[in-house]
Chain A
Amino acid sequence: MSVGTVTTRARVGQYAALLAYVAFLGFPLLWLVATAFKSTQEIALGASGFLPEAPTLQNFGDAIRRADLVEAGWNSLRVAVASTILTTALAMPAAYGLARFKTFLRPVTLGWVLVSQVFPTILIIVPLFLILKQFDLVNNLVGLTIVYVVFTLPFALWMLIGFVANIPRELEEAAAVDGAGRLRILVSIVFPLLRPGVVATALFAFIAAWNEFLFALVLIQDPAKVTLPLTLSRFVGAEGQVQLGALAAASLLATIPSLIFFGLIQGRLTSGLLSGAVKG
């Protein structure tokens, strides 16, 4: 058996595994698309086939008529963009400081990050609600944005610390030797190299805010301020009743902005910028 045959087989195996993985990940989305185009009767009768027998746009009409997707989408977009920018802006300098300076704050902060991930949201929602109410931040998109920043920041910080730690310290030392100050090093050397990490962090923060349900449910009461996940929940009723067609159509429409956002910035999610930057 030649090396070439083994390599080919391994490659085929790799692609087969990759295909299976992609199918596993993509199937729910394909199912959502197929269901969105099925009639109520076809859904009720159970899927005899995966594809709709008589595709219809009825569900989209129902979804748009019943739920104010545009207003809810606009609210979601504002909250998600604001919390993404704030989370990233706060996490970048903090991650740099924690990665580069070994003070007592480092273990304390990292410990806080871990502990903050331990508590289930449902345990803290009531005290959080009471605190926000004192500051008049209930039923308010600013309050919701602040909550998202607070709860996304620990993990974003954790992610970025790893990226900063991977930037060779020698690059900064070389810039310092050339006379660059701390700010100049950050702006000209560190932040550009940190771009893939920043993009990954921003994606994480955006998707977390875009999909979040429980905080929005509890904090937002005004119909004009509800976010998309709250609007989508209207298609679920008591006793396990679900308006599946309209829910699938509305969910499909709701995924479009996040797909666009991902499409816009995923090109920047490149790695290997540092390859060969420093001689090993």
Chain B
Amino acid sequence: MRLTHRRSQHRGRPAAVVATGAVAALVLAGCATAGSDDDADSEGGGDGPVSLRYQSLAFQEPTIQASQEIVDAWNADNPDVQVEYVQGSWDSVQDQLVTQFQGGTAPDVIQYESAAMTQFAEQGYLADLSGSLSEEVTSAVPEGVLDAVTVDDQVIAAPTLLQSYVVFANRGLLEEAGVEVPEGETWSWDEFQAAAAATTGGDTFGVGWGLAEPTATMLSLGMNFDATYFEGTGEDVTIDVGEEELALPERIHAMAYDDRSLDPVSITQSGSDVMTGFLKGKYAMTVQGSYQAQALTESAPADLDWVAMPLLEADSAAQAANPQTLSVAAESPHVEEAAAFIDYFMQADNLAKVAEGDWLIPASSDAAEVVSTDTEGANGWSTILAGGQYLTKAPFQSATNYPQWKDQIATPAFQRYLADEIDADQLATELTEGWESVSGG
């Protein structure tokens, strides 16, 4: 009986095998159909319109929408040059571009940031845009920002958006401590530290500062104290960690461990983590990227009266300009058309729309004016936009081995110093000897 039953099962099995095979064949055929679409849309060669791929890293929804509107408007006005919008991600773009450049399949128009694109430019992957961008566009970009996208006298990208470091403050906590919100474009570090000390008490710290990844902050805001760290360009770069370079780390250290006006726990957290504490009233002030004004506008409780303070200033209010960029792949068969699209993207109205979506500073002064008019300077925009004039190229942006030094040497060294594990002299030694080891000196 059982044998008979099994035999009948076995007779059915070949049919099951055939059915499984058929499913596999169908699924693969489905994949293959999707794959064959490539042939139709990849090149846009021949007599048809030129087809460009534009990989955007737009993240905020209004920015994505603005970017797509710009592409749609371009496509409507330029039937012979059609741009395809491809959505990329900040989180993975580095790996993606490394592979695509080596494989020869990079998008025609690439959004990224100047520090990373400088490295790609040095390997010859980016087209020279000198002369391709209109005078109207380039003249509206500050020289220091344009320097950040210039490699060996070639403009390797159009700078689009920038961020600066901004102090956001809880107006209620400042007033309770008798600290007046300063007027004017800049605010001195001494006053900032005094305000932090005045607002510290009970469960409240004067400042929460997310410095889990401290290197970029130290090198950028360090420019307030004339810190340069590096001299030279490319492979031929030397480091000097002196009084100016140590000024910012020492001030932060003193705030955390001497007058305890800066929460030492926040130093180990990310900016977003610290923002949670600020929203809950744990910190009277927090130092953040300017884009965090958006989170404050959208998520701050109704009873939190927040304000963006004037830019911090010591010897100057300078900060490093590491703009987001638009570049053209050198291997693109349509460099000229791709550059024309970037020039269109950089028009004041277009760039302003994207900047407003991301709450970042437009690299073009014309676009900044449009943003200023649109927003009327509300929700921190006046401070954010004022920061644009102080952003300039920093020496570290010309150092080929900077990314390696940052990850392997500087970040752990700054972390240990800010955790009070080593002193300032040891920090200077580690940063200097670490540079010599990664640069082969």
Contact = CB atoms under 8 A, between A and B. Distances in A.
A78 B107 contact: no
B10 A44 contact: no
Interface stretch (A29-37, A50-58, A141-149): A141-149
A170 B230 CA distance: 75
Given A126-B102, A142-B31, A234 B89 contact: yes
A223 interface: yes
A41 B299 contact: yes
Contact of A240 (B57, B272, B301): B272
> Which of B32, B99, B272, B298 has most chain A Cβ within 10 Å?
B99
A143 B103 CA distance: 15
A191 to B, nearest CB: 8
A133 B59 contact: no
B23 A125 contact: no
Nearest to A125: B99
Contact of B30 (A78, A191, A221): A78
B279 interface: yes
A79 B24 CA distance: 10
A85 B20 contact: yes
A45 interface: yes
Nearest to A213: B92
Given A45-B299, A217-B95, A126 B86 contact: no
A269 B203 CA distance: 55
Nearest to B299: A44
A140 interface: yes
B31 A141 contact: yes
B271 A240 contact: yes
Interface string B17-34: 100110110011011101
A129 B102 contact: yes
Contacts of A161: none
B53 interface: yes
Given A44-B299, A217-B96, A218-B99, A66 B91 contact: no
Interface in B3-49: 6, 9-10, 13-14, 17, 20-21, 23-24, 27-28, 30-32, 34-35, 37-38, 41-42
B64 interface: yes
B73 interface: no
Interface residues of B, number: 61
A22 B291 CA distance: 40
Contacts of B57: 238
B38 A85 contact: no
Contact of A81 (B27, B90, B92, B100): B27
Contacts of A241: 59, 272, 291
A86 B20 CA distance: 10
Contacts of A46: 276-277, 279-280
A238 B14 CA distance: 54
Looking at A86, A130, A138, which has the most chain B CB atoms within 10 Å of its CB?
Answer: A138
A223 B59 CA distance: 16
A143 B53 contact: no
Interface residues of A, number: 55
B332 to A, nearest CB: 14
Nearest to A240: B270
A37 B63 CA distance: 25
A166 interface: no
B149 to A, nearest CB: 17
B105 interface: yes
A238 B59 contact: yes
Interface string A112-138: 000000000010011001100100111
B61 interface: yes
Interface in B87-131: 87, 89-92, 95-96, 98-100, 102-105, 107, 113
B136 to A, nearest CB: 28
A133 B89 contact: no
Given A138-B105, A221-B86, A145 B31 contact: yes
A82 B280 contact: no
Interface in A202-240: 213-214, 217-218, 221-225, 230, 233-234, 236-240
Given A75-B34, A85-B24, A233-B91, A41 B99 contact: no
B289 interface: yes
A160 B418 CA distance: 52
A89 interface: yes
A138 B103 contact: yes
A44 B276 contact: yes
A70 B94 CA distance: 27
A233 B95 CA distance: 14
Given A139-B42, A230-B89, 16 more contacts: A44-B298, A46-B276, A81-B27, A82-B27, A89-B20, A129-B102, A133-B103, A139-B35, A140-B34, A140-B38, A187-B17, A217-B96, A221-B53, A221-B107, A223-B86, A238-B59
9 contacts: A85-B23, A130-B103, A140-B34, A192-B9, A214-B95, A218-B100, A237-B59, A239-B291, A240-B272
